[in-house]
Amino acid sequence: MAVQHEILSRLRPRIQKLGRPPGLAVVLVGHDPASEIYVRAKIKACAELGIFSEKLTPPETATTEELVALVEELNGRSDIDGILVQMPLPKHVDARRVLETVAADKDADGFHPMNVGYLVAGRPAPRSCTPAGIIELLKHYRIPMAGRHAVVLGRSDIVGKPMALMLLQENATVTICHSRTVNLPQMCRQADILVAAIGRAAFVTADFIQPGATVVDVGINRITDSAEAARLGRSEEFESKGKAVVGDVNPIDAARVAGAYTPVPGGVGPLTIAMLMSNTVKAARMRRGVRIPAAASAQR
């Protein structure tokens, strides 16, 4: 993917100037199949880029206290610049407490409340990876944001809220919509840029899309019904795998109505990993005293 390649190409000379490789620790609790796939992709990206990575695999039975102690140990290690706790954690674990134990300057995911506050204030800090990747995507394809109406469908702490803040920093006029929004299709149809992150398979249909709008699909949903797969043009994938992956946007409608559209899979996903690498390198540079301007932090 051209945008991902561009982001990673910017990082290589920065890594070489550091003297030692940046270090990323990934904490993977238990054996969730999807999480294992995501972590493998992240470790692979580190290896290709020259970032030291260490995977820690506590058992499914690990307690909140044990995970907090593990994160605190990583906080104190000088060879680790970024820490990622792969979600979801087991239900018995206090996920918020574990995530907030990660030192703010080692927060590779950009989830720590202090870093969210820095995002609001426009100060340098790790940025939530998926929204940051979407901003890079829009810039790469020269999609104007300043003065345009952007609608973010979804209000999660991981995507929706930081996405709205980042678009606002690019001088877009931003509306946040969600499951309780009245006249949801009508609200979304006003968007020049529509970011769908609501977590429902093919929820966004043609009625939600202004003709010619830019549509960014953040969703990853697995469908196991053959008729549904056929309706969404995923019959071939379903026949070979017994399931199919679709985003939050109906791909047939988006291809017909939108001016530009990110596919699922293969659209936003690779950018999320690229921005994780960017956050890790940025953390390493900041911990070594390299000054990063606020504008550069917001963009990269």
Domain ranges of the chain: 2-109, 129-268
Q: 123 or 187: whose pLDDT is higher?
A: 187
Residue 37: its H or E element: helix 33-49
Nearest CA to 213 out of 133, 151, 165 is that of: 151
| Residue 42 known to be catalytic | yes
Q: What are phi and psi of 4, to 5 degrees?
A: -60, -45
Distance CA 165, CA 151 (A): 12
pLDDT digits (tens, 9 = 90+) for 179-206: 999 999 999 999 999 999 999 999 999 9
Average pLDDT over residues 67-73: 98
The pTM for the full model equals 0.91
Residue among 81, 109, 192, 248 flagged as catalytic: 109
Say which residues have a Cβ less than 8 Å from residue 82's Cβ, sequence separation at least 6.
22, 23, 24, 25, 106, 107, 108, 126, 276, 279, 280, 283, 284
DSSP 94-121: -HHHHHHHS-GGGBTTS-SHHHHHHHHH
CA 261 to chain centre: 17
Residue 295 pLDDT greater than 50, yes or no: no
| Residue 109 known to be catalytic | yes
Q: Is CATH 3.40.50.261 the classification given to domain 129-268?
A: no
Which residue shows structure tokens 């399931």? 243
Residue 142 pLDDT greater than 90, yes or no: yes
Topology of domain 2-109 in CATH is Rossmann fold (3.40.50)
| Residue 86 known to be catalytic | yes
Residue among 4, 81, 86, 253 flagged as catalytic: 86
Distance CA 294, CA 94 (A): 33
129-268 and 2-109 share a CATH fold: yes
Q: Give the model's confidence band at 125: pLDDT under 50 very low, under 70 low, under 90 confident, else very high.
A: confident
Residue among 4, 42, 81, 169 flagged as catalytic: 42
Average pLDDT over residues 218-241: 91
pLDDT of residue 1: 73
